[in-house]
Chains A and B, each alone.
Chain A
Amino acid sequence: MGRSTHLERPGRFWQHVVATIGRLLISLLVPVITFVVIWQVFLFLRAGNAPRLVLVVAGIVWGVGGVAALFVLANWVVERLPARWASGLRPFVFVGPALVILGWYLALPTVRTFYFSFFDAASKNFVGLTNYVFAVTDAAMRESFRNNLLWLIVGSGLSVVFGLLIAILADRSRFEKLAKSIIFLPMAISFVGAGVIWRFIYFYRPASAEQIGLLNAVVVALGGTPVAWITKQPWNNLFLVAIMIWLNTGYAMVLLSAALKGVPAELLEAGRIDGATEVQIFFRIIIPAIKGTIITVATTILIGCLKIFDIVFVMTNGNYGTEVIASQFYKQMFKFQNFGRGGAIAIILLLAVTPVMIYNLRQFREREAFA
């Protein structure tokens, strides 16, 4: 029966074929046209023959709109495919772009950097572990490790201590909101901006001239002689770490303050009834109750201290004994163009960050803090 209807209407069959080919053609043409349009706009923007502001706006619209268009397009193409294919491919419309970009920008580079860390400066000859031996024995590298350790201990330690102190004080003050905003503000400032701000604080002039840097003005007012803070080894490292503390205390404070407010009041009340002093309550009840948050905060800042680069780069460029791992990396890679050594340092950085990050993520998962 079915066959006879088919024979009766051969036109239907051809219609079907034409429709399928047409659909296929459109499915091909639309992506091609989209790509051509996006590419042409790219060329136009790169040529840069339009007024500045037009280029800025057009660039932003092109970039964001282009990505959105690619998503819509991918979905459009997949929905046009036979149902079995479509259901298999659909998830990759969603997660595919992220996976491709992550593969290209992070996963592969890790493998590639690891690979050329075993080669010489120009990535030509295999040199085995030479670069790693250099990375742990070179004088400047040892200085970096020492300084980074200082950054880790003092930087994250004092950020947490100050953050906790301010969180507790603010909790008992009428000016809580204002105080928190003030402490929090530096978080919005770039390392470079902070560098300029603190260069001004640390600015040094010989004793004969009037000091315009605040710190030296205070020293002179107290009867001392002005100090060149930035070049005074080894203390200058601490003065750089102070900038990091200034920037990060707000972060520590926000998280710790939220945790403090989560400590049940009955717990504190019970402690007071049992005759505990405020100090005992703090160390025996509050600290254990917010331990998880303290670890999260400390490890997060720890990672930041491990990777610290901008502050050193802007303030001293690694001179006067202030070198850190990331600034050494930058020098090897971009100043000396030694990709082997630079790669080895980057891998060491990865190895240092990994355990801290894993610990941090695990802690974060336990808190399940996403509101």
Chain B
Amino acid sequence: MKSRKLASDIVVNGTLGILCLLWTVPTFGVLVSSFRQPEALRETGWWKTAPGEFTLANYEQVVGGKEYPDPTLPGGVAQGEDMGRSFLNSLTVTVPSTLIPIMIAAFAAYGFAWMRFPGRKVFFVFVVALLVVPLQIALIPILRDYMQINLTGTFLAVWLAHTGFGLPLATYLLFNYISSLPRDLLESAFIDGASHFTIFTRLILPLSLPALASFAIFQFLWVWNDLLVALVFIGGTPEVAVLTQRLQEMTGSRGQDWHLLTAGAFVTMVVPLLVFFGLQRYFVRGLLAGSVKG
């Protein structure tokens, strides 16, 4: 009996170990490669890395635009990439694109959950029904509107677009949470003479923090990792391009420069990975609550 237990233990942990290895190797290979010398990268696979050949130069070239030697070019040097700027752009796009929809959705969720007004049911069905609309449908009409009011290429345009596309899910999830808060809580606040606005900001928002945090993480990752909305509404100039755009562009223009591509990939991944490791608990909770946008 005991030896059977041991055998099943080995099978379980062995299979799990192999799967984990399969899942880690792709990322690990890129991480190792991003610290290797360009020539070494071109000549041997990352699994043959010798200790001591590591360098930070790739990151300097990809973030700060530092030049690096390239014998195939006439001048002998190639210009690096200015991903530092894209990093700031990503930050400027992502933070408001996360907080604005959550704020608007929380207000709406409270309104739908705790206020009585004509058309409440119809409006709520309207919000949930929009969950099915793929954002592709909205791109051209919105782009036309933006051109008319001269908003294309501004960060405001992208914030609002992400807000619109994130709102149905945000409202739906926050409604599920806020409507499940105990009713007597609100009634006693009302008896004390508090207004809806006060109850919402002082009572409901703090109580909903777990749900807000879960959704915030998702929206943050979603916006940070988004490519399509950025491509359509930001435009490709280096001044405004976000990280995903820049990396996508690099896969075309620098398809063979693996020292830049691997380091660049990690520059785009740093923030999501920090969020992931720091807030994994909320992340899992958000998933269980249904925070997934197709």
Contacts and interface: CB of A to CB of B under 8 A. Distances in A.
Contact of A370 (B126, B138, B272, B289): B289
A222 interface: no
B189 to A, nearest CB: 15
Given A52-B85, A349-B136, A361-B131, 15 more contacts: A99-B127, A101-B104, A102-B127, A108-B141, A109-B141, A175-B13, A187-B276, A187-B283, A188-B276, A211-B45, A212-B43, A306-B294, A307-B134, A361-B128, A371-B289
B195 A79 contact: yes
Nearest to B88: A56
Given A188-B275, A191-B227, A195-B251, A181 B280 contact: yes
A75 B41 CA distance: 60
A4 to B, nearest CB: 35
Contacts of B196: 90, 94
A59 B164 CA distance: 19
| Main DSSP-derived SS at the A contact region | helix
Interface string B119-145: 010010011101111101111111001
Contact of A192 (B108, B195, B225): B225
B203 interface: no
A342 B141 CA distance: 12
Contacts of A59: 92, 96, 155
Contact of A314 (B12, B141, B251, B275): B251
Interface of B: 8, 12-13, 15-16, 19-20, 23-27, 29-30, 33, 41-47, 85, 88, 91-92, 95-96, 99-100, 103-105, 107-108, 110-112, 115-117, 120, 123, 126-128, 130-134, 136-142, 145, 154-156, 159-161, 163-165, 167-168, 171, 173, 176-177, 180, 195-197, 200, 211, 221, 224-228, 231-232, 244, 247-248, 251, 258, 261-262, 264-265, 268-269, 272-273, 275-276, 280, 283-285, 287-290, 292, 294
Contacts of A122: none
A193 B23 CA distance: 15
A193 B268 contact: yes
A105 B142 contact: yes
A268 B228 CA distance: 47
A18 interface: no
Classify chain A's interface size: 35 or more
Interface stretch (A20-28, A134-142, A165-173, A280-288): A165-173
A307 B280 CA distance: 26
25 contacts: A42-B156, A59-B92, A64-B103, A93-B197, A94-B110, A99-B126, A101-B160, A102-B164, A105-B138, A105-B160, A113-B141, A175-B13, A182-B23, A188-B276, A190-B272, A192-B251, A196-B251, A197-B27, A197-B30, A200-B258, A210-B44, A300-B294, A354-B132, A357-B131, A370-B173
A353 to B, nearest CB: 6
A191 B272 CA distance: 12
A326 B248 contact: no
A258 B290 CA distance: 13
A343 interface: yes
Contact of B227 (A199, A251, A254, A313): A313
B134 A192 contact: no
Contacts of B30: 196-197, 200
Which of B16, B161, B232 has its CB near the most chain A CB atoms (within 10 A)?
B16
Nearest to B195: A79
Contact of B20 (A63, A183, A199): A183
A95 B124 CA distance: 9
Given A104-B164, A303-B294, A98 B127 contact: yes
A127 interface: no
A210 B43 contact: yes
B88 A53 contact: yes
Given A56-B91, A102-B126, A109-B137, A192 B244 contact: yes
Given A101-B104, A107-B130, A201-B26, A310 B227 contact: yes
B117 A333 contact: no
Given A162-B19, A212-B42, A251-B287, A95 B142 contact: no
Contacts of B128: 361
A209 B138 CA distance: 47
A67 interface: yes
